[in-house]
Amino acid sequence: MYNRLVARFGGAACVLSFFFFLVHFSVLHAGFERFTRLRPSTSSDNADGPTEGSRDSQIGNQIARPPSTSTITRPEVIKPDHGGPNIESPTRPSPASTSISVDTTTRGSPLGSAPEDKIVVIGKLQHENTDWVAEFLPE
Amino acid sequence: MSNCNPFRSARTHLSRWQHAIYTVDNTSHLLHTDANKGREANAYLSYILRNYESLPSIVSFVHPHRDGYPAAWHNDASNYDNVNSLKALNIDFVQRNGYANLRCIWIPGCPDEIHPLREPPKDVDGGESTEQAMASVWPLFFAPQAVPSIIGTPCCAQFAVSRDQIRKRPLLEYVRYHDWLMKTELSDDVSGRVFEYLWHIIFGQDPI
């Protein structure tokens, strides 16, 4: 009777010890792996590609650094020349007229009515009536 | 005729223009030519000479009659109306090309109205011909460029020019043109017509 009882307790203790060992081992193993992931990267770590940390820092640099201007297709800029800015930009269908739009805005004339920038020249005899010019092309 | 309909639009409908109306036969008028000589060419050149340093971006040179037939038959627009011509003018094209004839209809003028070297010359009137006059004027205006064998452009001397295009020739050249116009003994018909077939060349276009 006594022997049988000791044998049962002994068996149970062995099973529990083995189970405890398994649990303890897996916890230790997980802790070791976690330790290896958190260690700082070295140059040799990057041989097969950037780590997450180094990749993040590279992207950050790309965002922070302005792109090279040589790779940008700049819109056409037509500079105003003698006598003031070109006011014809509202009629220009091309989207490449940024600078001209600015010029027009400064004139306060979104419809292109800047009489000082275009002129009709006419030669006439004194008896010829050119009232139509003043009527349809007002100053 | 690259300046014709495909380039026209009504986008300038709301545009407004200044105007400079030169009276050719009354020197008491504020704007006038020194003499009534050389038809519209005199007024056009007078404007350029007096305003060369302060030109607006676009200059349209037109006749005084507004519309109707036959008075305004030169005008290539509905009802021969120069108001419609100017409203339809594509300013953008004038800026790009430097010059635009306001008339698109080829006749008269195209494709080969003037043969300066033709013998005998065509359309001799009173002993004068535009072709002969052109042959003698060309070296005075454009030497060392050789006299072209053919000149053709839609008629009638109404056109728009950009400031930049006008200034591609120095002021002294316009002075020379005007001097010739004032001194020539040719009739106004002929001297005016000589310029009618030279404006497009003066403003950077090919003879044809």
User: How far does A135 lie from chain B, in Å, by closest CA?
Assistant: 10
Residue B128 DSSP class: B
Task: Say if residues B161 and B58 touch (Cβ distance below 8 Å).
Answer: yes
pLDDT tens sequence across B58-103: 999 999 988 888 888 888 888 888 888 888 889 999 999 999 999 9
Looking at the complex, does the CB of residue B119 fall below 8 Å from at least one CB of chain A? no
CB spacing of B16 vs A117 below 8 angstroms? no
Residue-wise DSSP of B45-111: HHHHHHHGGG--SEEEEE-S--S-TTTTTT--SGGG-HHHHHHH--HHHHHHHSEEES----TTTTT
pLDDT per residue as tens digits for the range A69-100: 333 333 433 333 333 333 332 322 333 222 22
Query: Where do the domains of chain A lie?
Result: 1-38
Name the DSSP letter for residue A81.
B
Q: Which of A98-107, B41-50, B85-94, B193-202 has the lowest mean pLDDT?
A: A98-107
Using a CB-CB distance cutoff of 8 angstroms, which residues of chain A are in contact with residue B58? Answer: 88, 117-119
What is the reported pLDDT for A26?
56
Q: Are the Cβ atoms of B33 and A111 closer than 8 angstroms? A: no
Residue A76 is given by DSSP the state P
Instruction: Specify which of A11-20, A48-57, B4-13, B22-31 reaches the highest per-range mean pLDDT.
Output: B22-31
Question: pTM to 2 decimals?
Answer: 0.64
Q: Which strands, in side-by-side order, build the sheet including B159-162?
A: B18-23, A118-124, B58-62, B159-162, B99-101
For this complex, say whether ipTM is above 0.95.
no
Chain B interface includes A45 (CB < 8 A):
no
Token code pair at residue B83: 């108001």
